[in-house]
Amino acid sequence: MVPEHNSTRHDRDGVARAALLLLDEVGLADLSMRRIAGALDVQPSALYWHFASKQELLAELADRITATMPRADADVLTTARGIRDALFTYRDGAELVLSTSALRLGSSPAQTALESALRRHGADDPENRAAALLHFVLGHATLVQQRMHADSHGATIGDGVHDITAGLDRVFDLGVTALAGTPVADDEVSELPTPRRDRA
């Protein structure tokens, strides 16, 4: 298949930005190349001038989602919270980053940031600890987003009054500090940010 090229209309950055906007609108399951092309008013084949495959595009989106990090001298817990918050910025953000990480796609800025924080604070085996921490952060954020997704569709078991994510902020901080090998005081526990709810 020979892709159609119209470089005057869209570039790689424009395609990625359009895909992120569409991710928020339709979610990961419905984020197809055809739908992205429709949003840009081009043929799907035109997208392949900028990304060789959908997997390459998703890897780019994952890197963009996790690119916002805390300050360079942040500790491990602050860094992990920053990654979690970035995942919550987009609908299905955690699932998207988890799927690309599982396939070893993208540059993994999140794991690099965790490893740097671990090294700054003298943790042993920072490379493997960073990998373990990223797995935990991705799994935790995916769990929260799935609960929010189910709640927005009335599929959760509960009274509809209480916060279905209550207590998960404490679980997150305990998990991060356990894997990092650093203690956390009660007054250091963060409030879990509100993830993006699916549009009804």
- The 10s digit of each residue's pLDDT in 3-17 is 444 444 678 999 999
Q: How many CA atoms, within 13 angstroms, populate the side-chain half-sphere of residue 129?
A: 24
pLDDT at 146: 85
pLDDT at 199: 47
Count Cβ neighbours within 10 Å for each residue of 73-112 and write b for 16 or more, e otherwise. ebbbbbbbbbbbbbbbebbbbbbbbbbbbeeebbebbbbe
Q: Which two tokens stand for residue 200?
A: 């009804």
Range from 12-16, 54-58, 106-110, 119-123 carrying the lowest mean pLDDT: 106-110
- What is the distance, to the nearest Å, from the Cα of residue 94 to the centroid of all Cα atoms in its chain? 4
CA–CA gap between residue 50 and residue 33 (Å, rounded): 12
* pLDDT > 70: percent of the chain: 77
